[in-house]
Structure 1
Amino acid sequence: MVSFVPILAWVLALVAAAADIARAPRPLGARLVADRLLRWIFFFVIGLMSLWAFMGHVFFPAEAAAAIGWQTSPFQFEVGVANLGIGLAGVVGAFWGRLGFRTATWIVVASFLGGAAIGHLRQIAETGNLAAGNAGPILYTDILTPTVVAVLLLVAWKADQKA
């Protein structure tokens, strides 16, 4: 199940963004497209996925640890609470956050997910940990999410500068 959640979040974000863009007034500008993509990535990929991680680490720590290839640890509660904050910021940023709020949220997301990606890669290199929650889609989305959001934020910022 752990392997499918990041993929599902990205698919839902892209489908929702495509539907939102299809209903948008024409002509479409880069700012509008970036905004709609950011909205749904923030909601599904950053918001709901982080809330899912919060619930896993806090309420189902043994299952979450096993999916990652870890032993349970008291630090899971701290990781879970960090995910709670990121998830709430993602949901707020999706619908009520302006570009500055989204950028600030991205800084936290990029730091957290970037660090997680480094941790996953170290676990693979040092211990051969290829558990689905360590070396599967979560690793790829730990890199993909902050990268895609950075590009979209840059497009939005540049479009705002031209306006």
Structure 2
Amino acid sequence: MVFWVPILSWGAALLFALLTALKAPAPRPAALWAERLAAGICLFPVGLMGLWAALGHIAFPVQSAQSIGWATSPFQFEVGVANLGIGLAGVIGAFYRSWGFRAAVAVVSAGFLGGAAVGHLVQIAKTGNLASGNAGPILYTDMLTPLALLVLLALTWTSGRRDPT
């Protein structure tokens, strides 16, 4: 299941963006599409995946550690509560159309997920850890998610102070 969650979350984000943008009246400027995709990324790859990761690390630490290829550690609780905070911020950021709030979510995601991606790459290089929770789709979405949010926020910089609908 670990393998599919990042892929499904990105699919859901793209579908969410498409459906919510198509609900807006025409014309639909590029800023609207970028804003809706940012909302979808906040909701699914950041928000719901963050909550899913929190549940895994807090309630199922043994299974979570195994999926990453690690031994169980007391630090998983701390990773879990960090994921909880990021996940909650992502869900709020999906529905609260503040450019600044989404920028904060993007920066925190870049720090946490970007750092996790570096950690995954180090584990692959040093130990050959190719477990699905370390070298699978989670590695790519740990890089893609914050990068996509930062790019979308840059694209909506000038329109970010008003509602694009």
Q: Name the TM-score, length of structure 1 as normaliser.
A: 0.96
| Residues 5-16 of structure 1 aligned to structure 2 (within 5 Å) | 5-16=5-16
Letter in 1 for 2:33: V
- Structure 2 unmatched runs, 5+: none
Aligned equivalents of 2:136 and 2:45: distance in 1? 16
Letter in 1 for 2:80: G
Whether 2:92 is the aligned partner of 1:112: answer: no
Aligned equivalents of 1:160 and 1:15: distance in 2? 22
Alpha-carbon distance, 1:97 to partner:
4.2
Alpha-carbon distance, 1:160 to partner:
4.2
| Residues 66-105 of structure 1 aligned to structure 2 (within 5 Å) | 66-105=66-105
Aligned equivalents of 1:116 and 1:77: distance in 2? 15
Alpha-carbon distance, 1:59 to partner:
0.1
Alpha-carbon distance, 1:34 to partner:
1.2
Alpha-carbon distance, 1:16 to partner:
1.3
Q: Name the TM-score, length of structure 2 as normaliser.
A: 0.95
Partner of 2:53: 53
Whether 2:22 is the aligned partner of 1:22: answer: yes
Partner of 2:158: 158
- Structure 1 unmatched runs, 5+: none
Letter in 1 for 2:147: T
Letter in 2 for 1:134: N
Q: Deviations over 1:4-61 (max 9, x none)?
A: 0000000011011111111211111122111111111101110000000000000000
Aligned length: 162
C-alpha RMSD over aligned residues: 1.3
Given that residues 61 and 72 in structure 2 are in contact (C-alpha distance below 8 angstroms), is that contact kept between their aligned partners in structure 1?
yes
Letter in 2 for 1:128: G
Given that residues 86 and 108 in structure 1 are in contact (C-alpha distance below 8 angstroms), is that contact kept between their aligned partners in structure 2?
yes
Letter in 1 for 2:127: T
Partner of 1:32: 32
% identical aligned pairs: 60
Letter in 2 for 1:101: F
Whether 2:3 is the aligned partner of 1:3: answer: yes
Aligned equivalents of 1:55 and 1:74: distance in 2? 15
